[in-house]
Amino acid sequence: MKFLKDKILELRPLFKKGGKYEKYHTVFDGFATFLFTPDEVTHQGTHIKAGIDLKRTMFIVVIALVPALLFGMWNAGHQHFLSLGEFTGTGEGFLDKLIYGAIKVLPIVVVSYGVGLGIEFFIATKKGHAINEGFLVSGMLIPLIMPPAIPLWMVAVATAFAVIFAKEVFGGTGMNVLNVALVARVFLFFAYPTFMSGDAVWIAEKADGYSGATALANSIGGDPGFSLYDLFMGFIPGSVGETSKLAILIGAVILIATGIGSWKVMVSVLAGAGIMGLIFNAIGANEFMNVPFYYHFFMGGLMFGAVFMATDPVTAAQTEKGKWYYGLLIGMMAVMIRVFNPAYPEGIMLAILFGNVMAPLIDYIVVQANIKRRLARA
Amino acid sequence: MSAVETKVQEEKKPLLSKKDRKLITDPLSDNNPITIQVLGICSALAVTTQLKPTMVMAISVTVVVMFSNLIISWMRNLIPGRIRIIVQLTVVSVLVILVDQVLKAFVYDVSKQLSVFVGLIITNCIVMGRLEAFAMGNKPVPSILDGLGNGLGYGAVIMSVAFFRELSGSGKIFGFQVIPDFVYEMGYVNNGLMMIPAGALFTIAVIIWIQRSITKKFEEA
């Protein structure tokens, strides 16, 4: 570290005003602040100093995502070997599965970060504004919500689309209306539906004849096809990071303990899904409606979306009361889309995007209601 | 309706004076009906999945705008102000029905593809906009030039939208495959998003983005 720091201090004059590489100072500053805490402070006015900054926030979320990523790698291998009929027990062939999964998943991570950061750096250099850590989390979320068999060029196209159209056109980090990672997924979902839905894509290099249907696809027939234990532990086909609810809950604990993710949003999304599931259980008009409501928590990406995506502080509702309505709306919409439209099995993706769009309206209503209540009291 | 009131000075001039030429060139970029005035968006989203029907649509709209401008301009001093919209609609409807019949007679397959959108030219805001903003206050010759310019401006934008949508959505241009087979064998897949109207919205947005960053003309709120 000492070496890196010396090197940065040595190179810094080259990037200062009038230096040789002045044009690239944003890139240099980006790397420098990524590695070390910047030594520049504001000199005027009163400031409250907090231990948390954008870099630390982003890193904690990335750390919270690591369990899901590691399990996702192992599971990608596990599902592959399971379909071939090798190492069928969950305890067997641990290293083989992990290595196979890593070969499938890590390139997606590299492509997602490479393309996303490349575009961010390019735009920052062109516009002359500072590079920030805004893409660190999105770049990690994108691989986790992709099927393990996704072609890499599609990841690249989707990431580019999401960074440009969901983020940069709105003004960059912190200004986006929609969750960037979900925009990448929704782009792929509509642009290349055969690679994002169906039975064939959830297991990498699946053996022919082995059913790769997800629990959500099975549920259309009324039976999820997996035990609650398998669903909870994540021994099921699905997107890379969404399968293990255990790993997601570990992430949730990290987010809640550090105060970065809002527990209100997480709880209310699950509550909304539960309420809608109960209502459908009561109606029971088709096979899917009869699937017990608690299965909805453990199928598909509902848990992942609730913990890592709905809680995105930029796109979620900002008011404390609004977070409850926002979460309930997302949870109810997610289950509704799942049950009503078999063509869109993954309802949570569309539900969160819908919630993102509605969040400012929810905040407005909450604020106005508060003003009215206080005026009436006065 | 168009906020831009273009009044042409009444004076003697040769065929296609500078002002007349401006009538045609202005709507192509600086006052484009789609990218600047944001009119006629719904047909631009609906018909632009392929180039061929888009071209037919562009020609149809150009013809309708030109001749409705011309006819209304002839009648402009006879039309009572209160019922002018009805008169304008009647003229436009007649022209649209004529165009529709011609399409049905000569390019039946394209006409089927365009389906209701030919009929919907009647409600195309560009047509009404030009009648209200221009033809009601100007002589026939400038009016027909204005119609031509706006039709071409509209056509240029929807043609470029259709070009990108057909290219990325089905790998073709005017129905001919331009993306070679070996690219598909390498794993390339046509982009389904471009085939749904959302794809057209993004394409138009990018065209507006490019145009404004070249012309540096922004509408500050």
Q: Does A126 touch chain B if contact means CB atoms closer than 8 Å?
A: no
Any domain includes A41: no
The alpha carbon of residue A191 is apart from the nearest alpha carbon of chain B, in Å, by: 4
Do A74 and A15 sit in the same domain of this protein?
no
Assess A343–B contact: CB distance below 8 Å, yes or no: no
pLDDT confidence tier of residue B219, bands split at 50, 70 and 90: low
Residues A29 and A163 both lie in one domain: no
B12 domain-assigned: no
Comparing CB atoms, the residue among B191, B196, B202 nearest residue A165 is B202
How far apart are the C-alpha atoms of A218 and A253, rounded to whole Å? Answer: 30
* A210 and A247 housed in the same domain: yes
In a domain, B44, yes or no: yes
Q: Is residue B50, in this structure, part of any structural domain at all?
A: yes
Is A166 found in the same domain as A30? no
Residue A85 pLDDT: 81
Q: The domain that contains A217 carries what CATH number?
A: 1.10.3430
The CA-to-CA distance between both ends of chain B, in Å, stands at: 18
* pLDDT bucket at B9, cuts 50 / 70 / 90: very low
Which pTM does this prediction carry? 0.84
**Number of domains comprising chain A:** 2
Let me know if residue A47 belongs to a domain.
no
Q: How many CB atoms lie within 10 A of CB B150?
A: 34
Has residue A248 been placed in a domain? yes
Look at residue A326 in the predicted model and tell me its pLDDT.
95
Considering the domain architecture, whether residues A148 and A31 belong to the same structural domain is answered as no
Q: How far apart are CA B64 and CA B47, in angstroms?
A: 17
Task: State which residue of chain A sits closest to B203, comparing Cα positions.
Answer: A165
Q: Which of B189, B198, B202 sits opposite A192 (nearest CB)?
A: B189
**Any CB–CB contact under 8 A between B207 and chain A?**
no
ipTM of the prediction greater than 0.85, yes or no: no
From A210, A241, A213, A324, select the one nearest A275 (Cα to Cα): A324
Please check whether residues A27 and A138 belong to one and the same domain: no
The residue segments making up the domain with residue A17 are 2-35
Q: Is residue B155 part of a domain?
A: yes
CB B198 to CB A194 under 8 A?
no
Is there a single domain that holds both residue A191 and residue A116? yes
Residues A13 and A160 in one domain: no
| SS3 track for chain B | CCCCCCCCCCCCCCCCCHHHHHHHHHHHCCCCCCCCCCCCHHHHHHCCCCHHHHHHHHHHHHHHHHHHHHHHHHHCCCCCHHHHHHHHHHHHHHHHHHHHHHHHHHCHHHHHHHCHHHHHHHHCHHHHHHHHHCHHHCCHHHHHHHHHHHHHHHHHHHHHHHHHHHHHHHCEECCEECCCHHHHHCCCCCCHHHHCHHHHHHHHHHHHHHHHHHHCCCCCC
Tell whether B8 is covered by a domain.
Answer: no
Same domain, A13 and A65: no
B94-140 residue pLDDT tens: 999 999 999 999 988 888 888 788 888 888 888 888 888 888 888 88
Query: Contact B193/A191, CB-based, under 8 Å?
Result: yes
**A vs B: CB pairs below 8 A:** 21
**Is B15 inside any structural domain?**
no
- Shared domain for A162 and A238, answered yes or no, is yes
- Do A161 and A237 reside in the same domain of the chain? yes
> Does A345 map to a domain?
yes
pLDDT tens, residue by residue, A69-102 = 999 999 988 888 888 887 777 777 888 888 988 9
- Host domain of residue B57: 20-25+35-220
User: Is B14 domain-assigned?
Assistant: no
- In-domain check, residue B7: no
Chain centroid to CA B211: 17
Distance from CA of A195 to the nearest CA of B (A): 10
For residues A140 and A203, membership in a common domain is answered with: yes
Token pair listed for B210: 């490019």
Q: Which amino acid is at A110?
A: V
Tally of domains within chain B: 1
